[in-house]
């Protein structure tokens, strides 16, 4: 009797008629080199990580030593800013029928930038000055281009700024007019710039610098007796 083609057995098929292997039959032996290769790879990765960590550690130590030597030798100091004079060339308030008022002003302010370093030049980015009255009314802003300041140098910066037809409240306008007559108006000023230090032809930086001066009295600046209290904000050198 003719028989058809035999069917393939699926993987893992065991013929029930086949007797089980005797107890204690030996399992397939894996070559010991297989385990040795894995162990060698782990040891190699561990050694590489240790070498990288040691290299980073020594680099940090070297950078710390160089920074310490730099600070000990050059003794870098941040620049010092002073508002030396403020002049209001024009200050007019026009009252309108709708209850508001228009402010028209022009001011000239002089700022002293002092480099106290005896071995380092200071590089300045664009330097902007902003003026406000009563922390509410803007008297305008002005910007001067960046410059390089030599060691132990004081540079006088002059800014001309103003506003035209700035809308203000009528009650505030009356208070400002009264203050102008009594010469007791106070303004707030801010200097915004970036500074860096220079050693020869090497330039380091630039760090943002904000100098905020509040409660500057026009009378104090005219007399020159009292220096405004200013806060200096930047990253620590």
Mean pLDDT by 10 residues, the chain (237 residues): 55 58 54 53 76 87 83 82 81 78 87 90 92 80 93 92 84 77 78 87 83 76 62 63
Question: How confident is the model at residue 115, as a pLDDT?
Answer: 93
Question: How confident is the model at residue 34, as a pLDDT?
Answer: 47
Q: How far, in whole angstroms, is CA 145 from its chain's centroid?
A: 20
Question: How confident is the model at residue 126, as a pLDDT?
Answer: 93
Contact 115, 122 (CB under 8 A): yes
| Signed CA dihedral, 189, 209, 206, 113: sign only | positive
Helix (H) or strand (E) holding 163, with range, is strand 153-169
Question: How confident is the model at residue 123, as a pLDDT?
Answer: 92
Give the three-state DSSP class for 60.
helix
Contact 211, 194 (CB under 8 A): no
What is the spatial distance between Cα 113 and Cα 82, in angstroms, rounded to a whole number? Answer: 7
Question: How confident is the model at residue 39, as a pLDDT?
Answer: 56
Question: How confident is the model at residue 231, as a pLDDT?
Answer: 78
């Amino acid at each position: 009797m003719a028989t058809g083609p035999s069917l393939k057995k699926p993987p893992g098929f065991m013929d029930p008629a086949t007797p089980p292997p005797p107890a204690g039959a030996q399992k397939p032996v894996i070559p010991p080199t297989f385990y040795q290769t894995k162990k060698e790879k782990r040891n190699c990765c561990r050694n590489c990580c240790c070498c990288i960590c040691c290299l980073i550690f020594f680099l940090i130590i070297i950078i710390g030593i160089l920074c310490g030597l730099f600070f000990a030798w050059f003794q870098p100091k941040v620049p010092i800013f002073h508002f030396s004079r403020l002049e209001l060339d024009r200050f007019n308030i026009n009252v309108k029928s709708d209850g508001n008022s228009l402010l028209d002003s022009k001011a000239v302010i002089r700022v002293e930038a002092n480099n106290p370093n005896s071995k380092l030049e200071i590089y300045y980015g664009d330097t902007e000055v902003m003026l406000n009255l009563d922390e509410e009314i803007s008297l305008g802003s002005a910007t001067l281009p960046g410059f390089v300041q030599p060691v132990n140098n004081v540079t006088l910066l002059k800014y001309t700024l103003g506003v035209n037809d700035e809308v203000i409240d009528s009650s505030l306008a009356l208070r400002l007019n009264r203050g102008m007559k009594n010469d007791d108006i106070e303004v707030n000023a801010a200097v915004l710039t970036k500074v860096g230090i220079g050693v020869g032809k090497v330039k380091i930086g630039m760090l943002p610098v904000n100098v905020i001066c509040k409660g500057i009295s026009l009378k104090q600046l005219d007399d020159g007796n009292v220096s405004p209290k200013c806060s200096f904000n930047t990253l620590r050198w």
